[in-house]
Amino acid sequence: MNIIIALLCVLTNQVISQTEDIFPAKILAQQTIISENSDLYVTCTTLGRKKDSSVHVYLLVNGCGIQNLTQKQDQSDTLFTISSASLHHSGNYSCVYSPNHYTLSEVAKKGDDIIQILVIANFLPADISIVGSSTVHEGDYVEFQCTVSQHLHTLGGCKFIYAYLRKNVTILQVQVFNVSQMLTTFIIDGAVLRDSGHYSCIVLPSKCFYEHEHTVHGTNKVFLQVKGKAL
């Protein structure tokens, strides 16, 4: 669906880009890197442009119109909101305006300037492998290696994020994932029969781990002691 819209947009771009009364506007965003499901706010501004009437302001992504709003003559800023942004909202944003109304597919055109918005995934499946044999004996040491092969975007250049080891749908372990190394390991020290199963690894690119984080978690602690089997 998105591909079809993008194609239509490219085609109309070639036909309509001569439209005389669509003008570029400036674009501003508070944040250009946001996490998935958070709201994206961008402002299109016609500040310094002479307007004889109210205008229609269009927000474009990669040259395609996605939203429009009316701006009164005495206003210069129009705030656009994309609620609960998803990964496909990443792209190059720009703004145009016109005294006349156009459909979103008609405004295909570059704005005055472009800002690149990146939406960071909350969960990403990672590659998982077992170091050594995937058949082990009870009591054996098992090491899972979890890696990400594509470039990983994180919030604010975060260096460490979280990763989960899951067995089917259950989260078994949480680890810190080193973004520069693109690797983390999970260990089962002393496998038992019920550890057999399907394991997967999930990384959380929008969830930054700060090295001093573990020291701020208050006072609720509990100590568990395991003794040998009672007779």
Ligand X SMILES: *[C@@H]1O[C@H](CO)[C@@H](O)[C@H](O)[C@H]1NC(C)=O
Binding track, positions 69-108, relative to ligand X; x by CB under 6 A: ----------------------xx----------------
The set of residues, in sequence order, having a beta carbon less than 8 Å from that of 14 and lying 6+ positions away, is none
Residue among 88, 137, 151, 198 that touches ligand X (CB under 6 A): 198
Instruction: Name the minimum Å distance from CB 129 to ligand X.
Output: 16
Of the candidates 42, 104, 105, 53, which has an alpha carbon nearest to the alpha carbon of residue 78? 42
Piece in contact with ligand X (CB under 6 A), picked from 98-106, 128-136, 142-150, 178-186: 178-186
Query: Which of positions 8-67 make contact with ligand X (CB under 6 A)?
Result: 62
Distance, CA of 195 to CA of 134 (rounded, Å): 12
Residue 181 as a binder of ligand X (CB under 6 A): the answer is: yes
Which H or E element spans position 212? none
Q: How far is CA 68 from the centre of its chain?
A: 24
Piece in contact with ligand X (CB under 6 A), picked from 24-32, 104-112, 130-138, 174-182: 174-182
Considering Cα of 182, then 157, then 161, then 124, what sign does the dihedral take? negative
C-alpha count within 13 angstroms, C-beta hemisphere, residue 17: 10
Q: Closer to ligand X at the Cβ: 21 or 113?
A: 113
Query: Which of positions 111-150 make contact with ligand X (CB under 6 A)?
Result: 116
Binding site for ligand X (CB under 6 A): 62, 91-92, 116, 168, 178, 180-181, 198
